[in-house]
Every structure is written in C-alpha cells, then in structure tokens.
C-alpha cells in the first residue's frame, strides 16, 4: 500500500502526479458497416501498461505496415464498460469539485466514435453524466448527515454551441451570449436550475438532450451537430458562520465530432456545420498548443467554445480530463491517428505553473491536505486487513493534517482544535479496520467544511 504522509508546511508546490490534463483513450466496438466491409482492426491496447498501438494501412504495394505507439493516463478498449471508465477515471475528478476545484471533463474525437454514448449513455448503460449526478448527491447527503454545519447548493444549466451561436438547451426562448467577465458562468442569459436530487439533474439532462441539434450523416445516424456543455455548480455554505466556503463547477462537455470534408460527402447545411465544427475544434487545438508551449498569449477568443471553456486549459484552479474517442478499424486510420496525436499533445498541458518556488497560499495548502487525505482513504478502502503500523501511520497522517490546518491563516482554530482532540482521544480505541475507516470518514466529513480564506500563508 502506498500511504503518503501529509507534509507539514512548507509544502513544495510542484505537483508530481496530478496537474497535467489527464487524457484517456476509449475505442468503440467495430460497427456493422465496418464489419460488413471487412476493414482490418488496427488498434490494440494494453490496459496495464496504458499503451496503445495503431498500425497504418498497407500501402498501395502491400509492402509496409508501420506501428505507432502512444501511452496515456488510461486506455479503454471496446470491451470496457461505462462503469469501469467512470470508477477509474471520472470519479476521482468529480471528487475534486468538492475540494473547490473547477473540473472539466470532455469527450473529443472523430464523428461516430462514441462521445455522446460516453457522456450521455443510452437506455442500457448510464453515461458519465448520470453517474456524476449520483456521485454529487451521494456526497451532499453524506455531508448533511455527518454534521449540520454546511449546506450545498447544486445548480445546473445546459448550453449548446451551434454554428457559432450559443443556445440554452433548457430554455431556448431566451438569447444567450458569452460574458467572460462572469467567472462563475461565462455566460449571460443562461438559465440555472437548483437541483435537490439526482433525479432533478437527470430531468434537466434529458430535457436538454432532446433539444440538441442532431442529424443523420454519412458516418453517424444520430450525429451531434453542436458542442454541448452541461454545467454543474456547487456552492458550499457554512450554516453557522454563513460564510461561503467554496464555489466550484463541473463542466461536462460533449464536443461535436471532427469530420473530413471530403469523406463526409456533406453538402449545403451539413457542409456548413462541418466547417464550423472543424473551425472551433481547430481553435481548441490552438489553445492546447499555446498553453503547452507556455506562450503568454493564448487565443481563447478565437471561438465561443474556447471562450466558454477558457479556465479548462492551463488554469491553476482547474482539473481537466479529456476522453479521446476513436474507432478500431482501418476505415478511419487517418482520423484516429490525428485524434491520438492531438490527445497526446493535450497530455502535456499543465494546469499549474511549471515550478512555483513561493509557498502555497492558505487555500492551496488546505486543498492539498484534503487531497492527500482523500487519496489515503481510497487506498485504505482497498486494504484487506489493518496492521498496527498502518494504523499508526494513518492516525499520524491525520494529526499532521490538522497541524497543517492550524498553521494556515484564516482557519477556524476552534473547529480544528476539536478535531485534534477527537483524534487524540480516539486513536487508542481504533480496534479494527472499519473503525479506522469510519474515523477517517468522520475526519474528512468535518474537515471539508472548515472555511479557509485565500490569504498567503506566513
Ligand atoms: N463503447 C461503445 N459501446 C457500444 N456502442 C458504442 C460505443 N461507442 C459508440 N457506440 C455506438 O456508436 C454509435 C455512434 O456513437 P455516438 O453517437 O456516441 O458518436 P459521437 O462520437 O457522439 O458522434 P458525433 O460526433 O457524430 O455526434 C452509437 O450507436 C453508439 O451507441
């Protein structure tokens, strides 16, 4: 087991494991058209080594077969389930929203590769959205029951970008326009709904989904012709002090699919849509390239999509997960290779400055401590039995975390002192593994709600 000890400040700001854009690749099954035409399967994956290989098509002389290899944060082959993808790659990202981060999860790839299936699911399998709604309300309920010091306000809205215009998918009668000065939601006129349950959110999703622009194209019977962004905002309020403890959001993005103009055989409106989609995806590509090369000017303003998602690329308060969807056969070799190269490039974007030599701000330190504890709890849950060394280490880690918080400016000292007391009194009575887990759960449940002001630490 990998049990990392919480560091007592100063904590070095360079994060070795998590602040790059996370990139996973998902390959859909062979479709009936590819099956019938007998296209070769050209993509192979190894989930353990996270490595993916793609073979090129045999050239005109049938001579060369070259293989290109890529490594990503995770790879999912055609047999992988929605549930596996969610549990391994998405759940830890959504968890970050409760720590005050803005989280963006987006599906990218050629048309017909399964972006909408991945995000919205179908009648048989829940997609990322439904699973995220469940996770959010599980969190809200746990917190409300574990202590009554906090309330969470969860709101959602659903917007589509179609042919360079924004449209509110939950209220199409009102005009919507971009407003980047509004940090919480870079939009004006977009209607937000307050949700009390997972079902409320699902209702909004379904409502928006049915209003989306779709059309039958050469590649996909139900092709999305727009970029759709479902935004969940989460405001945590301390009921005792009435202070807002954190405001964060989750962007769930189903991008329209890229298409080769030549191969798509599109004409008229479909052709216009196709051009518009490709242009906005090119703008995303340029933003990724500029963020990666550390340029000071990032061309966010090149498209509505990049303006709306501005804080998803290269911002220190954002965690981003890109799901690159691809097809498995030689039918789309070129497009698949382009998606993989693009995704590989995105993997190099860092959401934090390269190296910070200054100390972390109080809020960052607080978040980091919570992150370490959440990670520790996850690792603990995978353990089969509790040994004495593990117990001592974990309790020590919780105590260190409390000390970190005590040194952070703006923390409500009285609350933290209470936890320290709780830990000291209880550590000797931890008899078994579930005691330790409960204690950790209790600790995290309460710790999450201690307000921290964003002042620099001493
Ligand atoms: N992993 C998968 N398992 C089973 N079916 C899949 C999978 N991925 C995609 N499909 C099926 O492939 C078809 C195309 O998927 P989908 O519409 O989600 O593609 P898309 O990338 O969103 O396309 P577009 O960009 O044109 O909107 C659908 O019928 C979908 O159910």
Same domain, 377 and 292: no
Domain check: are 286 and 237 in the same one? yes
Indicate whether 59 pLDDT > 80: no
Residues 257 and 143 in one domain: yes
Q: Which atom of ligand 1 is nearest to the CA of 109?
A: 21
Domain range enclosing 78: 22-346
Q: How far is the CA of 423 from the centre of ligand 1 (A)?
A: 50
Domain end call among 292, 318, 346: 346
In a shared domain, residues 83 and 158: yes
Ramachandran bin of 268, using left for φ above 0, alpha for ψ from -120 to 50, beta for the remaining angles? left
- Does 335 share its domain with 400? no
Same domain, 242 and 270: yes
Would residue 4 count as lying in a domain? Answer: no
Report the pLDDT averaged over residues 259-267.
60
Ligand 1 mean position, distance from CA 114 (Å): 3
- ipTM above 0.95 for this complex: yes
Residue 41 in this model has a pLDDT that exceeds 50: yes
Residues 128 and 226 in one domain: yes
Q: Which atom of ligand 1 is nearest to the CA of 225?
A: 27
As for ligand 1, residues whose beta carbon falls within 6 Å of it are: 28-29, 109, 111-117, 122, 220, 222-224, 256-257, 325
* Minimum CA distance residue for ligand 1 atom 23: 112
- Which ligand 1 atom sits closest to the C-alpha of 214? 27
170 alpha carbon to ligand 1 midpoint, in Å?
Answer: 24
Looking at the fold, whether 240 and 318 belong to one and the same domain comes out as yes
Q: Which of 220, 278, 323 to mutate to test the pocket of ligand 1 (most atoms within 8 A of CB)?
A: 220
Tell me, what CATH number does 337's domain have?
Answer: 3.40.850.10
Q: Which ligand 1 atom is nearest residue 80's CA?
A: 1
Sequence-distant (≥ 6) Cβ neighbours of residue 196 within 8 angstroms: none
Q: Which of 346, 377, 405 is the last residue of a domain?
A: 346
Residues 68, 173 share a domain: yes
- Cα of 14 vs centre of ligand 1, distance in Å, is 38
pLDDT at 30 over 90: yes
Helix (H) or strand (E) segment spanning residue 193:
strand 193-195
Report d(CA 130, CA 86) in Å as an integer.
Answer: 10
The pick from 114, 161, 220, 328 for probing ligand 1's pocket by mutation, whose C-beta has the most ligand atoms within 8 angstroms, reads 114
164 SS3 class: coil
Please state the atom number of ligand 1 nearest to the C-alpha of residue 257.
25
Same domain, 177 and 68: yes
The mean predicted confidence, pLDDT, of the chain is: 75
Is 16 inside a domain boundary? no
Atom nearest to 222 CA in ligand 1? 17
Within a 10 A sphere around the Cβ of 426, how many other Cβ atoms? 17
- Strand, helix or coil for residue 191: coil
pLDDT band at 11 (very low <50, low <70, confident <90, very high): very low
User: Which atom of ligand 1 sits closest to the CA of residue 27?
Assistant: 1
- 298 with 379, same domain? no
pLDDT at 284: 84
76 in a structural domain: yes
**Closest Cα partner for 24 from 326, 316, 332?**
326
Q: How far does residue 209's CA lie from ligand 1's centre (Å)?
A: 15
Asked, for residue 326, whether it belongs to a domain, the answer is yes
Q: Does any domain span residue 452?
A: no
Q: Label residue 454 by pLDDT band (50, 70, 90).
A: very low
Q: How far is residue 412's CA from residue 296's CA, in Å, rounded to a whole number?
A: 38
My answer on whether 340 and 406 are in the same domain is no
Confidence of residue 236 (pLDDT cuts 50, 70, 90): confident
User: What pTM value is reported for the model?
Assistant: 0.73
Q: How far apart are CA 195 and CA 100, in angstroms?
A: 19
Among 25, 26, 83, 113, which is best to mutate for testing ligand 1, by the most ligand atoms less than 8 A from CB? 113
Q: 439-444: which pairs have CB atoms within 8 A and are 24 or more residues apart?
A: 439/395, 439/398, 440/373, 440/376, 440/377, 440/380, 440/394, 440/398, 441/146, 441/377, 442/146, 443/373, 443/398, 443/419, 444/370, 444/373, 444/374, 444/377
Q: In this predicted model, what pLDDT tens digit does every residue of 121-160 receive, in sequence order? A: 998 899 999 999 999 999 888 755 445 667 888 999 999 9
Structural domain includes residue 38: yes
pLDDT 10s digits, 62-113:
556 688 999 999 999 999 999 999 999 999 999 888 877 889 999 999 888 9
Q: Which of 106-120, 177-191, 211-225, 390-404 has the highest mean pLDDT?
A: 106-120
Q: Which element (helix H / strand E) includes 381? A: helix 362-382
**Residue 101 contacts residue 318 (beta carbons within 8 Å):** yes
Asked which of 318, 346, 374 is the last residue of a domain, the reply is: 346
Lowest mean pLDDT, pick from 190-194, 337-341, 342-346: 342-346
**CA–CA separation, 226 and 254 (whole Å):** 9
11 in any annotated domain = no
Q: How many domains is the chain built from? A: 2
Question: How much of the chain exceeds pLDDT 70, in percent?
Answer: 60
371 part of a folded domain = yes
Tell me how far the alpha carbon of residue 156 lies from the centroid of ligand 1, in angstroms.
Answer: 25
36 burial (CB, 10 Å; 0-12 / 13-18 / 19+) is exposed
Distance CA 187, CA 165 (A): 12
* Distance from the alpha carbon of residue 113 to the mean position of ligand 1, in angstroms: 5
């Amino acid at each position: 087991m990998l049990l990392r000890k919480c560091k007592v400040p100063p904590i070095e700001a360079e994060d070795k494991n998590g602040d790059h854009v996370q990139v996973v690749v998902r390959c859909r099954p062979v479709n009936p058209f590819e099956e019938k035409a007998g296209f070769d399967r050209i993509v192979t994956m190894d989930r353990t080594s996270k490595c993916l290989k793609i073979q090129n098509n045999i050239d005109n002389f049938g001579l060369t077969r070259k293989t290109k290899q890529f490594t990503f944060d995770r790879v999912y082959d055609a047999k992988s389930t929605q549930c596996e993808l969610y549990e391994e790659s998405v759940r830890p990202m959504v968890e970050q929203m409760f720590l005050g981060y803005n989280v963006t999860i987006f599906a990218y790839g050629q048309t017909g590769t399964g972006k909408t299936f991945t995000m919205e699911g179908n009648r048989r399998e829940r997609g990322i959205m439904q699973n995220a709604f469940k996770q959010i309300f599980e969190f809200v309920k746990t917190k409300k029951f574990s202590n009554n010091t906090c309330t969470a306000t969860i709101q959602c809205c659903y917007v589509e970008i179609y042919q360079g215009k924004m449209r509110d998918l939950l209220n199409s009668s009102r005009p919507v326009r971009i407003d980047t000065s509004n940090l919480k939601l870079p939009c004006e006129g977009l209607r937000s709904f307050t949700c009390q349950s997972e079902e409320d959110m699902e209702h909004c999703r379904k409502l928006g989904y049915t209003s989306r622009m779709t059309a039958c194209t050469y590649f996909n019977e139900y092709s999305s012709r727009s970029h759709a962004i479902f935004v969940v905002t989460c405001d945590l309020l301390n009921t005792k002090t009435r202070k807002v403890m954190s405001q964060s959001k989750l962007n769930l993005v189903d991008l329209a699919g890229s298409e080769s103009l030549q191969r798509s055989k599109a004409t008229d409106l479909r052709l216009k849509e196709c051009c518009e989609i490709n242009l906005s995806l090119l703008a995303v590509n340029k933003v990724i390239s500029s963020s990666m090369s550390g340029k000071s000017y990032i061309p966010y303003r090149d498209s509505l999509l990049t303006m709306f998602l501005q804080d998803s690329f290269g911002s220190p308060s954002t965690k981003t997960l890109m799901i690159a969807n691809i097809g498995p056969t030689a039918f789309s070799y070129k497009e698949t290779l382009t998606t993989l190269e693009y995704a590989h490039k995105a993997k190099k974007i860092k959401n934090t400055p390269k190296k910070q030599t200054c100390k972390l701000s109080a809020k960052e330190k607080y978040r980091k401590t919570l992150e370490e504890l959440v990670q520790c709890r996850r690792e603990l849950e995978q353990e089969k039995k509790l040994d004495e060394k593990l117990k001592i280490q974990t309790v020590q880690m919780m105590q260190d975390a409390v000390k970190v918080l005590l040194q952070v400016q703006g923390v409500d000292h009285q609350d933290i002192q209470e936890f320290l007391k709780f830990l000291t009194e209880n550590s000797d009575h931890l008899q078994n593994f579930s005691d330790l887990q409960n204690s950790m759960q209790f600790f995290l449940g309460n710790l999450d709600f201690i307000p921290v002001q964003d002042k620099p630490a001493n």
